[in-house]
Amino acid sequence: MAIPLRGRLRRYGTSYAMLLPFLALFAAFLIWPLANSLYLSFTTFDGINPATFTGLDNFRRLTADDRFLHAIGNTSLYVVASVLLGTLLSLGLALAFDGPGWSHRIMRTVFFLPSVTSSIALMLMWKWVLFPSDVGLANTIVSWFGGGAVAWLATPGLTIPILVLMSVWGGMGYGMILYVAGLGSIPREYYEAAEIDGASAWRRFRHITLPLLRPVTTYVVVTGLIGAFQVFEAVYIVFRGTNSVGGVLDSGLMIVPYLYDQGFTHFKLGYASAIAWVLFLIIFVLSLVNLRLGRAMKEL
């Protein structure tokens, strides 16, 4: 039998009152901006004048915008490469350094450091590493092997590989920590039993470690996917040209830097909001697919 409203209020009133500050902040800083951005995506808001409602115009324009489609293509390539490599290397590092000893702890700390360092500082460091001419670190190393100076930031074919390298280097330590925790939760008895049955190291990894790490893998892939789709600093700081966010030939143009460029450089905040919602839908659908796949594989 349902409790009457009065009773419910008496019973849960204090709890709801204590939730109010959070709910107010949640509504003001998340729900309200979200609703506003959804509304703006149907307008031609320029940031200063009142918004003009234009229906689905912004979304229609997106489908014919070459730079946006190029940004989607670049981002997809980047996401696949960085998430795949990042996950594999995170797992590899976790397997290599999951022990309790000092050497393993130190190595884990070293690989985890980029995850807690300011991303701006990291990107400035990469800019210095990839500095052109013979003064940059990368070119200094190339010169040790007799190579000439490489235009790292001005060669379109190198842009995505460099962005993937920066992402994987910066993110694999975080994935490693998650995998180390996952490895720790696998009961030792499984391995002992498998060993007694004569299972090789590979078979133990294939049939015990990998399946039991599936929840961690799903988490690493989904969070990696979300992060990779939202790549911004790397493009904005390292590859920004004088007047364009995408680097040479837009080879590094990604969705969020393009969104920023349209919204905050060209005053097209309505259009930028439409880009944001398309990005949200892409991430939402891919995350759903990923979670569903993770569940389906578990049921197999």
Partner 1 sequence: MRRTTAACTTVLLALVSAACATSGRPQTQQAATDAPATLSFWSTGGDDETAIFQKAADLYHQQHPNVTIKVQTLSWDDAYAKLLAAATSRSGPDVISGGMTWTIQFGARGAMVDLREHGLDSLKAQAQPAQWESAVSPDGSVYGVPLDMSTLALYYRTDLLEQAGLDAPPKTWEELTAAIGKLKAAGVAKPYSQDWGNLDWIGYFNYLYQAGGTFYTPDCKPSLDTPQAERALAYWVDLYREHGAPTASVEASDALDTGTALVVGGNWIAKGMDVNKPKLKGKWAMTTLPAGPAGPTTFIGGRAIGVTSFSRHAKTGADFVRFMYSDEAIAAIVEEARKRNLPYIPPRPDKVVAASSFTPEQAQVFEQAFSTGKAAPGCPGWDESAPDVSKQLQSAILGKADVRTALAEAAKVMRANAG
- Binding region for partner 1 (CB under 8 A): 31-32, 35-36, 38-40, 46-51, 53, 67, 131-135, 149, 151-156, 241-246, 248-250, 261, 264-267
- Give least dist CB 235 to partner 1, A: 14
Long-range contacts of 275-281, Cβ-Cβ distance < 8 Å, separation of 24 or more = 275/62, 275/68, 276/37, 276/41, 277/37, 277/38, 277/41, 278/59, 278/62, 279/229, 279/230, 279/255
Integer distance in angstroms from the first to the last C-alpha of the chain?
41
The CB-of-246 to partner 1 minimum distance in angstroms stands at: 7
Phi-psi domain of 296 (left: phi exceeds 0; alpha: psi -120 through 50; beta: other): alpha
- 166 vs 168 by CB, closer to partner 1: 166
Considering beta carbons, is residue 99 or 241 the nearer one to partner 1? 241
The answer to whether the beta carbons of residues 262 and 268 sit under 8 Å apart is: yes
CB of 120 to partner 1, least distance (A): 10
Shortest distance in whole angstroms from residue 226 CB to partner 1: 22
Residue 54 buriedness (CB in 10 A; 0-12 / 13-18 / 19+): middle
Question: Could you give the CA distance from residue 161 to residue 114 in angstroms, rounded to a whole number?
Answer: 19
Rounded to a whole number of angstroms, the minimum distance from the CB of residue 158 to partner 1 is 11
Q: Which is nearer to partner 1, 36 or 109 (CB)?
A: 36
Task: Select 186 or 249, whichever has its Cβ closest to partner 1.
Answer: 249
Task: From 272, 264, 290, select the one nearest 71 (Cα to Cα).
Answer: 272
Spatial distance between the Cα atoms of 133 and 140, rounded to a whole number of angstroms: 9
Residue 193 CB, nearest approach to partner 1 (Å)? 45
Which CB, 38 or 84, lies closer to partner 1?
Answer: 38
Residue 154 or 226 with smaller CB distance to partner 1: 154
